[in-house]
Amino acid sequence: MAIEITIRDGDPWWMSPDIWVVPGNDPEGPSGVPIVGAPAFLWARVWNNGSNSVQDATVRFYWADPSTGFDRNTAHLVGTSFVSLGAGEVAETLCLQPWIPEFVNDGHECVLAEAFHVPGDPLPSTPEFNVPTDRHVAQRNLSVVLAAANGFFRFTFNVFNVTRLDRVYRMTLEPGDERQLKPMIPTLGQEFAGVTLNGKLSKGAIVEERCAAEDAAGESAALKGGLDLPISAHRKVNRTLVGKVEGGPALFHLKQWEGNRVVGGISLLVLPRNAKQEG
Amino acid sequence: MAQIAITNRPFASDLITGLMLPDGLFVTMLGRQNINVHLSNSGASSFGASQVYIESVSSPAIAVTPRTHFIGTLTSGATTALSWTADFRDCPPGYHFVSFIVERGGTRDRVIKKIFVLGLSFDESDGSFVAETPEGVMRALFEKLSRPRHDCCCGRGTLPEPEREPPRNDRDPHCDEGKEQERRERERKRKRSTIHDLPDLFQRHEPDFLFCPPGYLPVRFRYEWTPTPPFTGTDGDLPFQDPWWKVVLCVIAVLLLIGAAIAEAVDGSGSVTVGGGTGGGVDPEDDCCGVRAGGGGTSYIAAGLVAAAAAVATLAAASDERDAFQRGRDATPPGAGEVTVSESFEMEVDYVEPVTLGKAFAVTGKWTYVRTTDKTTYTHSATDNNRNIHVTSSYEITAPEFVVRDNPDLFWIVKAKLFDADGNLFHGGNLFVQGFLVGPSGEWYRFTLQDDGLFPDDAASDGEYSGTFNFRHVKAQKGLWEYFIIAQDVNDADPDLSPQQAAQIIGGMVLTNQLTISFTEDECRFVADGHVMVV
């Protein structure tokens, strides 16, 4: 193809290594985790895998509340940037319009970036992002969760049925591995450079109670089959994942299935707090 | 090691006249403007061919038209000017940032530069311009402008009205056509333009445009500052923490004249629009010469130069160097426990010599500063004799007198050398130099002259600015064209200077001598730099 603009997906697809956040007032500062209410800047790595160069391709940056279901019309546009790329080139692109993260969905927001050129390589004409199938767009939906010193953690999330029909979604929690996390490390922040995923989930449960205590977490094996969530059309339900990790940091993927198809998800990097931090 | 840099602050030029705005400030009221930068190779070695583009801007309300410039090898010390168009009409006033990418051989340098966007509104009740800033409200009014003693204006209504919403076709069928026409006429009269319409009033360079402003040079102006909150002591916060009130006055002078000229040409509303409707406002004084400009392109150049003259005259009267407002503050210390609730500065300008752009003309400014506190009023008055310091001692322009339009191998190349007050050559990024061409039928074209060592310039930073224009490309009409080469100085203040120090360095003033506004002749001297016969 003459021009093939791409922002890569991750594994799973919402863990794109090509989108990251620089918190603070310096857009060229170190990458890290955004802080609610404080400015942050979004970056994207854009590739031209085509055989022709492209001038002034548009890159749009969004944030969205993953619990509400979103598309190009409902996601929040943070800003726009432009990038010129030769054939086979890649460039890091900064969105200079600052993003002030809001406290929605218990603080779990995802960011998206899409790159395109009109008329050389336009976007599909649908409002849906179609992240896993559209190379123009990628998503980063990774939350860092600090566990207690004993490894207990709690993570509240929403699941939204964006369709006009009632649906039953299956939620599963799957362990992640270092191969999946490694591409994200350079942009997660310096403090994550030495993270080794040697932790395991010893207990876990998805419960309705937002402030569930540690004893709500049952044997982690109970999560293996997943949890069916019937949700009426255009409604959302709120659930809390409670669990306990042992042995160190761990990565999990909370996946939303519709039949045999993954329609959404979020990944959690759970970091046990050491006794000193706890104090 | 080559090092690429954008040495000066990016600066604005307006699309109507093509000239840089005072101090390069961006103005919401003008809508679309050019973002210009000087890109320099400050390293010791050459910087190979590269591409440069705007990556992003810090406000989504700045709508950039994307463009990638391809530039050849910049030798050590070379500086080249680049520009992009952006719409600022919805931009919140204040500081913003622009990031530029310079890409060479797969290596990308990012340069983030600060710009300032001035947001002004026009108060039609008294003809003043108002800017609300976090530190307070500033209000400026040009109460009196000089005006040609012989009103030779024939430019009213020479431009087509901008496209407006089509009328609704829902009139009462019983209403007769005559009454309907009356109603339409009343509505048309009500829709007289205001300066807020400027981005819509100007749509393109029209060959029928005739220059006819309501006034030329400021004779009396007034500046008021209402701090929020009131402050104790001698000095309070300045708007955007920047002592730039003189620049704001210059910008207003430019807006006033360009806006009025365009409004006048569209619907004859220039004098009322800019002068403040029926509420008074600008009171022109019939005492200066008039500019006789041909239709179309020459009139746009005249508009730009008269606006530039108003700006530089304002600046000369208020002085770049010694801040009269600050001297007023220093001379009126409030009593213990008093808070300053407002300050005003009024100046009456006496032009003791003809105002020639680029010359050290003398002006006398009689001014009064008034500090109003919660208990009393303090006043300080003075008379300053100042000279314009934005000058050239001389300049040379050379260009062929003939050009063969359809021969692609023959280039029409203009070269310009300009000398500063001490006789030293300006070079590289010292200046923003543009050429303006006016065709036999009023066509208007603009091009940039560079001292960057890239074709058609022979050597970088040697003080010879070169530019070329492709008559074949625009299918130029054959005949006699005239050209103007207009140079403006650039604000090259070190970003590390304090606001007070930086405020003494003001750029964007015209240094070339095409226009003289005198007070003894009927017709102002307004001359092109040369002519070229297109065959």
Which residues on B lie below 8 Å from A96 (Cβ)? 55-58, 97-99, 112
Mean pLDDT for the stretch of residues B137-147:
89
How would residue B275 be classed by pLDDT, with cut points 50, 70 and 90?
very low
| Cβ contact, residue pair B112, A84, below 8 Å | no
Cα A244 from Cα A202, distance rounded (Å): 6
- Residue A102: how many CB atoms within 10 A of its CB? 13
User: Whole-structure pTM over 0.95, yes or no?
Assistant: no
Evaluated on CA atoms B247, B249, B250, B252, the torsion sign reads positive
Nearest to A97 among B53, B58, B66 (CB): B58
| R_g of chain B computed on alpha carbons | 24
| Residue from B54, B55, B69, B98 whose CB has the most chain A CBs within 10 Å, to mutate | B55
Structure token pair of residue B443: 């066509």
- Residue A274: how many CB atoms within 10 A of its CB? 9
B299 or A83: whose pLDDT is higher?
A83
Answer whether B109 touches A (CB < 8 Å): no
Answer whether A96 touches B (CB < 8 Å): yes
Mean pLDDT for the stretch of residues B9-20:
93
A:12-31 residues touching chain B, CB 8 A cutoff: 27-28
Decide if pLDDT at B279 tops 50.
Answer: no
Nearest to B56 among A55, A79, A89 (CB): A79
Can you give the pLDDT at residue B105? 87
Can you give the pLDDT at residue A35? 84
Q: State which amino acid sits at residue B191.
A: K
pLDDT above 90: percentage of residues in chain B? 58
Which residues on B lie below 8 Å from A55 (Cβ)? 51, 53, 66, 68
**Helix or strand or coil: residue B357?**
coil
Cα B349 from Cα B359, distance rounded (Å): 18
Answer whether B105 touches A (CB < 8 Å): no
B121 or B434: whose pLDDT is higher?
B434
Give me the interface pTM, i.e. the ipTM: 0.90
Nearest to A56 among B66, B98, B103 (CB): B66
Which residues on A lie below 8 Å from B58 (Cβ)? 96-98
| pLDDT tens-digit map of B436-475 | 999 999 999 999 999 999 999 999 999 999 999 999 999 9
| pLDDT tens-digit map of B96-127 | 999 999 999 889 999 999 999 998 888 878 88
Least confident of A183-192, B94-103, B280-289, B414-423: B280-289
How would residue B182 be classed by pLDDT, with cut points 50, 70 and 90?
low
Mean pLDDT for the stretch of residues B59-75:
96
Q: How many CB pairs under 8 A join A and B?
A: 62
How would residue B505 be classed by pLDDT, with cut points 50, 70 and 90?
confident
The mean predicted confidence, pLDDT, of chain B is 86
Query: What is the bridge-based pairing of β-strands B479-489 and B530-534?
Result: antiparallel
Q: How far is CA B414 from CA B248, B405, B441, in A?
A: 34, 16, 22
Q: Residue B113: exposed, middle, or buried by beta-carbon count in 10 A (0-12, 13-18, 19+)? A: middle
Cα A157 from Cα B151, distance rounded (Å): 74
Answer whether A94 touches B (CB < 8 Å): yes
Cα A100 from Cα A102, distance rounded (Å): 6
Q: How far is CA B337 from CA B229, B328, B372, in A?
A: 15, 20, 14
- Residue B424: how many CB atoms within 10 A of its CB? 12
Answer whether A228 touches B (CB < 8 Å): no
Decide if pLDDT at B171 tops 60.
Answer: no
A200 or A274: whose pLDDT is higher?
A200
Smallest Cα–Cα separation from A63: which of A26, A36, A91, A32?
Answer: A36
Cα B66 from Cα A233, distance rounded (Å): 42
pLDDT above 90: percentage of residues in chain A? 57
Query: What is the bridge-based pairing of β-strands B339-351 and B218-227?
Result: antiparallel
Decide if pLDDT at A140 tops 80.
Answer: yes
Q: Count of H helices and E strands in chain B?
A: 7, 30
Decide if pLDDT at B274 tops 70.
Answer: no
Cα A59 from Cα A112, distance rounded (Å): 10
**Helix or strand or coil: residue B254?**
helix
Evaluated on CA atoms B304, B487, B142, B246, the torsion sign reads positive
Can you give the pLDDT at residue B150? 67
**Helix or strand or coil: residue B306?**
helix
| pLDDT tens-digit map of A205-263 | 888 888 877 777 776 555 777 889 999 998 888 888 999 999 999 999 999 999 999 98
**Do the Cβ atoms of A202 and A192 come closer than 8 Å?**
no
